Structure 1
Amino acid sequence: MLRTNVPTYVSLIDVTDREVQNTQELASIWGEIRTEFEQHEAELVDSYAILGQHDFLVIFDADDHESAFKSALTLRRHGLAGETMEIVDTDDFSHLVDEI
């Protein structure tokens, strides 16, 4: 569940730097990542395996940009290269557009 009034981020992940022996090995790191995110004042909201250009989609909340940056580095440290972006709910976005 997304926390209210906390920025939400998404990372598009590529498993390029990690030699994965099997899917169980890859699945086992999510618990470690969740714990490390909590140490950075962030919460791993959800993760998905995806087809296409990227391998995983990771959604997380972070208290601030510094926490988000540390969380993105956590993913990288685990061999999960990706692009991390802040996202805004479309309802919130429409309110921003209405105010302009």
Structure 2
Amino acid sequence: MPTYVLMTKLTPAALQGTSGRRATGHDWKTKVDKVCPGIRWIGHYALLGPYDFMDIYEAPDGETAFRVSLLSRENGALTAESWPAVAYPDFLGIADAVEGRPG
């Protein structure tokens, strides 16, 4: 399955209090799992920087990744971006193919 990285920045109101944040996060994940069957979660990280959270997941297709981002926006994210990601060895194979090298 394709891999995606979800980069999320929350609204200031959504970041208030850890107990509320925990409940909101749980509600979001429950909703995503229901609306986006087939998602396989790989990792969830809190960040220091321009984004608040990063999730790495596999989805069956791009439409499902769109749904994950839309549900994130619906649940208090100021921005939510799902980026397609390719493992480095796969990237090297793609680069070799572009350069006409045998894989």
Identity within the alignment, %: 29
- TM-score, normalised with respect to structure 1: 0.81
- Cα drift, residue 17 of structure 1: 6.0
Larger radius of gyration: 2
Residue ranges of structure 1 left out of the alignment (5+ in a row): 1-5
Equivalent in the alignment of 1:24: 19
- Cα drift, residue 27 of structure 1: 2.4
Q: Which residue of 54, 59, 69 corresponds with 2:56?
A: 59
- Cα drift, residue 52 of structure 1: 1.0
Equivalent in the alignment of 1:3: none
Equivalent in the alignment of 2:31: 36
Equivalent in the alignment of 1:11: 6
Q: Which residue of 75, 93, 96 corresponds with 2:94?
A: 96
What SS does the corresponding residue of 2:14 show, helix, strand or coil?
coil
Distance change (3 Å), C-alpha of 1:65 and 1:99: same
Taking the aligned partners of 2:54 and 2:17, their CA distance within structure 1 comes to: 19
Amino acid aligned to 2:30? T
Q: Quote the RMSD (CA, aligned, Å).
A: 1.7
- TM-score, normalised with respect to structure 2: 0.79
Amino acid aligned to 2:53? F
